[in-house]
Structure 1
Amino acid sequence: MPKSVISLHPPWTTVFQGDRVNLICNGFQFYAPENTTWFYKDGWENTQTEHPGNTLVVCKSGEYKCQVQGSLPSDPVSLRFVTGPIILQAPHLVFEGDTLILRCQRRGKDKLISAKYKQNGETVFDSKDSNQGLDLFIPQASLSNSGSYECWGYEDKNTFFKSDTKIIKIQELFPDPKMKATDPHPTEGNPVNLSCETQLPPARLDTPLHFIFFRDDKAILSDWSNSSEIQIPTIWRENSGKYTCGAETVTHSVYKHSLPLEIHVQRIPVSQVSIEILPPDGQAVEGEKLVLVCSVAEGTGETTFSWHRENTKQHVGQKTQRSQRAELEIPNIRESHTGRYYCTADNSYGPIQSGVVNITVRGIPGKKSGLIALGTCGGFLMLLMAVTLLFYHRCWRKPVHPKEEDLLYSEIQIIQLGDKEKANTSSAPPEDNCASIIYSEVKTKLPDKSAEKVGSKEENAMKGGKNVLPM
């Protein structure tokens, strides 16, 4: 439950005898209280009274407290009504960052021409040397401004009065913040909440503060914000370090920094590494896609997955990612990929190996064509010539004209010249340098009488290639 707070008007705690001071009791409701309880203590006198509203006018020295409904009793306020010729007036409460005004006040209508102020016996301000007036004015008070003060008031060059000594204590607006985390030893991949905790005094609960967060005094985790908490949605081991925070008033008058909080992010080593293949039976067809999947049952952070071929120790692929599963795709598998495979996973604790799987790649039946090889230069042209030659041969041999069911098969072989053959044909025209030698066989089953009727014209027509007809 919050405390009630007393404010003074005028703000001084030391006044002349016969003056009046208004004490105002503030709670934390949005409306003025119907009644306020006031407590007064001075020597043997100790009273408690209830007054309507929240204002009390007083003219006696002593200690005052108040309490409104829904709040705890306030801290005490000490008032002094004095009869001396001069007094040093100071506010009831002065916090860090506040403007501190000290006033050297003369009784009655007599005026001072200058004033001098001493702190702990040392002069800190003399109005004769300044044009700022008679008051001591400190724009932003700090804890170092606390101390024992007195003033010297001058009516003329030779006449002065010395005030009583007054102890002034600058109040701390808020203590150094404390850096806290929901878990200072979190596990990788989990969220972590950070908070920058401090506390304003009851009299200044309405003072707005801004907060900022750092790691290792360099990495800013957030810009200035009115929120004293932030969340790291997913923390990793590289996020380990010393975390600090800062709190500051929006007017930049007070800034305070926390001590560092060491956050060590835990990493879980990989375990139970396994490999699987798609298709799952390990039987693949040449030309199809094959996928090798490497996965772990446990493990956090960046994991390096590697795939290997067992019999050759060949390294066939590697991926590094924040995941417990990775895939290696072979888009066009060949028979040469047949073998035994395994994978490893490593997240900085050393590689862990999976079991071994067998992969068998089958060729496609009938995939090999009668076309054995084409020349790299003009291959398409040579194929066209071969087909034309075969067509010409069949059309020219009209007397033979075998029946369709008698044609067993035809075979065209296009064989690329090797390096030696190319060397022997260096005298050929340039366009023939990379031509292929074409062999054509048309094999048919003909009646015996048809073979006897083959004329010389047909033989002369086929002299461009080798044509063997079985008898």
Structure 2
Amino acid sequence: MWRRLPPTALFLVVWGDLQAADLPKAAVSLDPPWYRVLTNDSVTLKCQGASLPGNKSTQWWHNGTLISSNTSTYFITAASPKDSGEYKCQTSLTTLSDPVNLEVHIGWLLLQAVGQVFKEGEKITLRCHGWKNKQVYKVTYHQNGKSQKYFHRNTVFEILNATGKHSGSYFCRGLIGKNNVSSESINIMVQGQAMPFIAPIFSSWHQVAFCLGMTVLFAVDTALYFFIQSDLRSFMGDWRNRRVKWKNQTAKLEEPQSQGPWDK
């Protein structure tokens, strides 16, 4: 007898014909976007990627160790040095993401950035961050030992159109209370022209096409199930009718005939 495959089983059949290379990668993002934070800062990591209907579980890895299999968001409420390292994630319809590195520093002042390597034409964003979000006054941003920008109060420093001349060592200095403090330096590198924004678009269309394919397969499976069920009911009805007719005919053939006066 034909039986309808449940959606999960149907997916596993299709999954068996797919290779890991056919699936898009998951992606990890930071919120706020700074990969360098101070102790006691809160950090949210988000996993982006398609999931199976009814299966939204997400696996998280920290320095190669599985740490969670629940939601697409991983929270760090009060960061400590032990939270430093590489984070990866994976959903039910993606392969393992590229690593995102988180650095947790100890100190009063930290120069934060969204990355260390940029393409020409991209925006570089820097932030002079005080411990426990303390206000920083008379902030100066330095590149290769030279002052580049001054703010009376702590303000994000943006370089809108990065070029090779913006590569170098950066740090910031400012007042926290009466203390004049400086951050550690970080190295920023600006490389050739930025590539067109193609790969993420292709990846999203790849996910959409895959999900549409799964939806079509599920619809075909459902339609096939109801068709077979209907056809099977019709067949069973015909078979019962033919069986009843056959029994009636057999009974008539076996019924004894009455004897005539000549048979006596």
TM-score, normalization: structure 2?
A: 0.55
Q: Is the 8 A contact 2:51 2:91 kept in 1?
A: no
For the pair shown, which has the larger CA radius of gyration, 1 or 2?
1
Partner of residue 48, structure 1: 66
Query: What displacement does 1:8 show?
Result: 0.8
Cα distance change on mapping 1:100 and 1:199 into 2, 3 Å: closer
Cα distance change on mapping 1:145 and 1:69 into 2, 3 Å: farther
Bigger RCO (CA 8 Å, 6+ sep): 2
Tell me the secondary structure at the aligned position of residue 69 of structure 2.
strand
Q: Is the 8 A contact 1:6 1:66 kept in 2?
A: yes
Partner of residue 5, structure 1: 27
Q: Is the 8 A contact 1:33 1:54 kept in 2?
A: no
What is the rounded CA distance, in whole Å, between the counterparts of 1:52 and 1:203 in structure 2? 27
Where does structure 2 lack aligned partners over 5 or more consecutive residues? 1-22, 205-264
Query: What displacement does 1:55 show?
Result: 0.8
Q: Is the 8 A contact 1:77 1:92 kept in 2?
A: no
**Is 2:104 the partner of 1:84?**
no
Query: What displacement does 1:147 show?
Result: 3.0
Amino acid in the other structure paired with 1:3: K
What is the rounded CA distance, in whole Å, between the counterparts of 1:23 and 1:30 in structure 2? 21
Partner of residue 183, structure 2: 163
User: For residues 354-393 of structure 1, what are the structure 2 equivalents within 5 Å?
Assistant: none
Amino acid in the other structure paired with 1:73: L
Amino acid in the other structure paired with 2:137: I
Cα distance change on mapping 1:91 and 1:204 into 2, 3 Å: farther
What is the rounded CA distance, in whole Å, between the counterparts of 1:47 and 1:162 in structure 2? 35
Partner of residue 134, structure 1: 155
Query: What displacement does 1:85 show?
Result: 0.8
Deviation track 1:112-169 (CA, whole Å, cap 9, x = no partner) reads: 22111122333222226xxx9632122233454343211111347x842111112334
Cα distance change on mapping 1:54 and 1:92 into 2, 3 Å: farther
Q: Is the 8 A contact 1:40 1:48 kept in 2?
A: yes
What is the rounded CA distance, in whole Å, between the counterparts of 1:203 and 1:32 in structure 2? 25
**Is 2:132 the partner of 1:108?**
yes
TM-score, normalization: structure 1?
A: 0.33
User: For residues 345-424 of structure 1, what are the structure 2 equivalents within 5 Å?
Assistant: none
Deviation track 1:370-392 (CA, whole Å, cap 9, x = no partner) reads: xxxxxxxxxxxxxxxxxxxxxxx
What is the rounded CA distance, in whole Å, between the counterparts of 1:19 and 1:151 in structure 2? 19
The percent identity for this pair of structures is: 31
User: For residues 52-63 of structure 1, what are the structure 2 equivalents within 5 Å?
Assistant: 52-58=70-76, 59=79, 60-63=83-86
Which structure is higher in strand share?
A: 1
Query: What displacement does 1:102 show?
Result: 0.8
Cα distance change on mapping 1:204 and 1:116 into 2, 3 Å: farther
CA RMSD of aligned residues (A): 3.4
Cα distance change on mapping 1:21 and 1:161 into 2, 3 Å: same
**Is 2:41 the partner of 1:19?**
yes
What is the rounded CA distance, in whole Å, between the counterparts of 2:49 and 2:95 in structure 1? 9
Q: Is the 8 A contact 1:8 1:92 kept in 2?
A: no
Q: Is the 8 A contact 2:86 2:99 kept in 1?
A: yes
Q: Is the 8 A contact 1:114 1:134 kept in 2?
A: no
Query: What displacement does 1:204 show?
Result: 9.8
Partner of residue 173, structure 2: 152
Tell me the secondary structure at the aligned position of residue 127 of structure 1.
strand
What is the rounded CA distance, in whole Å, between the counterparts of 1:165 and 1:137 in structure 2? 17
**Is 2:142 the partner of 1:118?**
yes
Q: Is the 8 A contact 1:35 1:50 kept in 2?
A: no
Cα distance change on mapping 1:100 and 1:30 into 2, 3 Å: farther
Query: What displacement does 1:7 show?
Result: 0.9
Partner of residue 67, structure 1: 90
Q: Is the 8 A contact 1:98 1:140 kept in 2?
A: yes
Which structure is higher in helix share?
A: 2
Cα distance change on mapping 1:173 and 1:146 into 2, 3 Å: same
Tell me the secondary structure at the aligned position of residue 108 of structure 1.
helix
Query: What displacement does 1:202 show?
Result: 4.9
Q: Is the 8 A contact 1:32 1:53 kept in 2?
A: no
Q: Is the 8 A contact 1:12 1:91 kept in 2?
A: yes
What is the rounded CA distance, in whole Å, between the counterparts of 2:54 and 2:170 in structure 1? 37
User: For residues 214-363 of structure 1, what are the structure 2 equivalents within 5 Å?
Assistant: none
Q: Is the 8 A contact 2:171 2:185 kept in 1?
A: yes
Where does structure 1 lack aligned partners over 5 or more consecutive residues? 176-197, 207-471
Query: What displacement does 1:199 show?
Result: 7.0
Query: What displacement does 1:75 show?
Result: 1.8
Amino acid in the other structure paired with 2:183: S
Cα distance change on mapping 1:105 and 1:174 into 2, 3 Å: closer
